């Protein structure tokens, strides 16, 4: 394989790696904040649902004297 083909082959594989810099722009940062807000909201809703479920279970056990 001659030198030009080797250089072209190396550049073909190296070019995508060079393009992946970690320069987050404003849109990327905003997207990350939105993702975090959605995750936090989901966690809070899961916690609230667990509390409601526990409360319903406790009320059921008080009324029926059985494990619900």
Neighbours of 42 (CB within 10 A): 10
Quote the pLDDT of residue 19. Answer: 61
Quote the pLDDT of residue 47. Answer: 95
Domain membership flag for residue 5: no
Look over the chain and give the mean of its residue pLDDT values, rounded to a whole number. 84
Domain membership flag for residue 43: yes
Average pLDDT score over residue span 19-39: 83
Domain membership flag for residue 33: yes
C-alpha distances out from residue 35 to 24, 43, 45, Å: 15, 12, 15
Range of the domain at 53: 25-68
Domain membership flag for residue 3: no
Whether the CB-CB separation of 68 and 61 falls below 8 Å is answered with yes
Domain membership flag for residue 15: no
- Number of domains making up the chain: 1
Give the confidence band of 25 by pLDDT, cuts at 50, 70, 90: confident
């Amino acid at each position: 394989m001659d030198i030009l083909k080797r250089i072209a082959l190396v550049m073909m594989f190296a070019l995508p790696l060079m393009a992946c810099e970690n320069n987050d722009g404003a849109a990327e940062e905003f997207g990350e904040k939105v993702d975090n807000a959605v995750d936090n909201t989901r966690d809070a809703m899961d916690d609230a649902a667990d509390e409601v479920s526990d409360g319903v279970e406790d009320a059921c056990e008080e009324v029926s004297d059985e494990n619900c």
